[in-house]
Structure 1
């Protein structure tokens, strides 16, 4: 076709003559005009030229700068270009683009050339109708000499075409922290007379007050403990049985209005916690801090009935789906699940009690037989 050539678009590289200040920019900033003055074209204190080379996808393009390079501006700035070893340097990368232009900031990893990236932050804002991305790097190096912060490439996509802008490298001079030549040692100055005031002893006063407070608190604690030790012995209430605790908690949950208020997640979270606490306390199976899969693996190695294992797995899986997958079971399922857990608690507690009773009877019988044999012998 006349006037066109098949080319490959390449990232757009904007080269700017570096100014004599610690900032490199492909599009220098200019002061904003006064609201009463008409806006004027941007002017720069140094010449700016744009070298745009096509690369990337194969498309027919006029033999001129591709329009996708317009509407995107890349600027860089640096806090200082002469530092000492280890000094933090603030390096800022600013991209401004027209609406509808997509920007892809670079993923630089842990280093920026010879400089180690200590911190990295990206801020996005709007300036008039344009979008602005500001990437702020805090970098440092631990060698002396002259080093370049390398060119940073920013990709963009506009009107279905892709390209990129690359910043100019920035030279930084890193100096040693060793002192230079020092003058001869001077004589020691005579002691200076300092007039002390009460404010100069504030730390001493604060220390004394703190020590007194600790002593008083320790005395009060020991005095109270001795008084409690000499008080008449008080009978403590026996602990609530595990099954009774679980049944009481189920009754409280049943009387709550969580399901009526639409708080399905809170309802099943409490139901799962009641079931897990009962399993852990009654059968010494870790359940409160374990996943559902871990609980089921431990229950499979215990004396649980097969139907009880299936019931526990179904209830825990449903609770997990409600909490993490936002499942909303029908309201009537809540009362049904409470009743299932209640039957599980009653049946398993009765079975555990009968097993314990049989064990005690067997132990007493064995002990009686041993005493009889000992008497006969």
Structure 2
């Protein structure tokens, strides 16, 4: 009876052992030279629910790994490994999970040897000097940017201070080259072309209109009319008329006074004259310029 029990126990052990998966790690060589490559193969005699390890090595480097291969009922993973430092290195035990059960491979020893060099057969060469790298655009781009910025600044300076100034001098009308009367008539015509009061710019219209008349008086009669008030201008002209130093009439002075007062009301009291009144003021401005002139000086020789 005891003999049968022993046989049954041995049979169960053999069956249980045969059912356990086998994990195995193999290398094609245990001796390599620095830089040489060799294969590591991990195999498992099971193909379902298998998790292979991620190699972590010391002193050795994994160059590449092949796709997992299935050979019959066996799973195979290959790695390409090398070493760049001489010495003896262990590939440690790798943990493989099969159906949530961990199994370990054997550890493997790999010797990495240096390459023997026969110095008697190697021709010696002198040490070469350091070779300068060729220049690239990056070596000079900061200077290029500085040069471009300088050219832009110089170009702007030339345009602003030379070309633009000349252009302004050409475009600016040379009123001072005209006689006072011609200048005033020219400006009146320019004012008409602007159509200021027709575009509801009555204040601007009267400002320019009275400035033309005042400028004419200042140039023609040598009176600082642009700086004087309306009353001061009228009093000065009355004095000149009484002294008979100007050729004008009381009616002309009265029309000038009415024009300047109307302009003051528009500019400071926001008065809004009618279109017919604006046209009359324009005619009065022309009349004042036509009839307000200095008396010619008669020399003593002409009196005799």
**Superposed pair shares fold, TM > 0.5:** no
TM tier, smaller: 0.3 to 0.5
Q: Whose helix fraction is larger, Structure 1's or Structure 2's?
A: 2
TM-score normalised to the size of structure 1? Answer: 0.31
Which of structures 1 and 2 has the bigger CA Rg? 2
TM-score normalised to the size of structure 2? Answer: 0.38
